[in-house]
Structure 1
């Protein structure tokens, strides 16, 4: 058998990519894109600068929404005047909100832009729960969260309960007031004064003038003895009672007004 000759392999030609010695077309496109985007950027920058100017779409009206009993609306509008000045887009709504909430009778506020030239400020007024007598004798008001928020001014607020306790205890007193008021309300009674001293001994005075000494615990369990005994033994002679001492473990003692009863009577 003769040897078979294998023909030599032929190499595939290497593909040659076109070469441009001077890519002018690419340079022109890049230059055009840069000019276009540069123009758009300048236009947007100018538009943003123009909108940020106070005299562009200036705020012309400030609407105040809310239900008010004590808040001075003229004072509120005057307070909002400075922060609310400016343009529709650049007015600082946070500053407007903070200005509103800086007033003692404002509990919280929210601010919205109304196209094209109005701010709407919605205000929630503080709800006074009681008066607070400070250590120096000055008066303030307490809201339902136990926060002091204003000096006691309007005469109508003189009908609110009076709290007095060491400074910094307003939240504690407010919470205790709400817990004690509920069982007393069932008897048709309400708290006119509530206090505790440095020894944390609680005392309250009812709307009928009767004082209750609750002691250092001063909780609902102590008051429960009074709530139970009141309709059975005390209500009929309420006008003659000066105070009821509930600091005893299992009972109470009644002090009658001078000339109205037999002195101390254990319950």
Structure 2
């Protein structure tokens, strides 16, 4: 009886020891796998793939941004944090990031689409995008000429809307808006590509522009000197100023 009890006791402790070894081994294996997965040296992100219609941002720019701080391993790298870092780049409007086994980081970019310079007399790097949002970026990479918009910071949407409305009507008639300024009292002034200034005021802007379009052929024939400004803030008629011979001569001398 005593021998039988000893046998049962030995089997119990042997089984318990084996179970403990299995549990400890399993936990050790899990720990090893975890630390291996989290170690950037063991499972590194080796390749970066940048996609999107890129004009202002290069894959090298993205790589430089990402290498500024540790990325982590394939498993530990936080795609949301990486996306936030990329979207902080001046010319990036939106980014999506995903990891692809075993070592690829894929980034899809949507760039800012600039509409115009914004309050250039206050900041050299301020731009407004097609969505009417102000952003700040290096303008030296711009390949196209953009108009200059200015106005109160709280009225960006109003400035953009006025630019779109006026430039569309003028564009249909062969004129291009180079500058638009919205005053604190919401009065609008335009400068066309040929340097002609249009004072439109605050009301009936499109009607006043149409009046200018209708009168322009007659104004062009009225004098040999170029037009300087047309004030359309009157209910009937306009006030016109032509440039003087001295002003024209001074400009020609500067250009030469």
TM-score when scaled to structure 1?
0.70
**Could you say if the C-alpha distance between residues 134 and 192 of structure 1 is closer, same or farther in structure 2, counting changes exceeding 3 Å?**
closer
2:57 aligned residue: 71
**Could you say if the C-alpha distance between residues 209 and 182 of structure 1 is closer, same or farther in structure 2, counting changes exceeding 3 Å?**
same
* Structure 1 residue 57: Cα displacement: 2.9
Higher helix share: 2
Higher Rg: 1
User: Structure 2: how far apart are the matches of 1:85 and 1:179?
Assistant: 46
Between 139-148 and 186-195, report the one with greater CA deviation. Answer: 139-148
Provide the aligned C-alpha RMSD in A. 3.4
Superposition pairs of residues 250-265 of structure 1, within 5 angstroms: 250-258=236-244
| Residue correspondences, number | 226
User: Structure 2: how far apart are the matches of 1:120 and 1:155?
Assistant: 25
2:190 aligned residue: 204
Task: Describe the superposition over 1:102-145 as per-residue Cα deviations: whole angstroms up to 9, x where unpaired.
Answer: 11111111112122110111112222221123564645222112
Task: Describe the superposition over 1:71-104 as per-residue Cα deviations: whole angstroms up to 9, x where unpaired.
Answer: 3543321111256722222210011111111111
Secondary structure of 2:153 counterpart: coil
Q: Which runs of 5+ in 1 are unaligned?
A: 1-34, 261-267
Superposition pairs of residues 225-240 of structure 1, within 5 angstroms: 225-230=211-216, 232-234=217-219, 240=226
TM-score when scaled to structure 2?
0.73
* Structure 1 residue 156: Cα displacement: 5.0
Q: Which runs of 5+ in 2 are unaligned?
A: 1-18, 247-256
**Could you say if the C-alpha distance between residues 183 and 237 of structure 1 is closer, same or farther in structure 2, counting changes exceeding 3 Å?**
farther
2:8 aligned residue: none
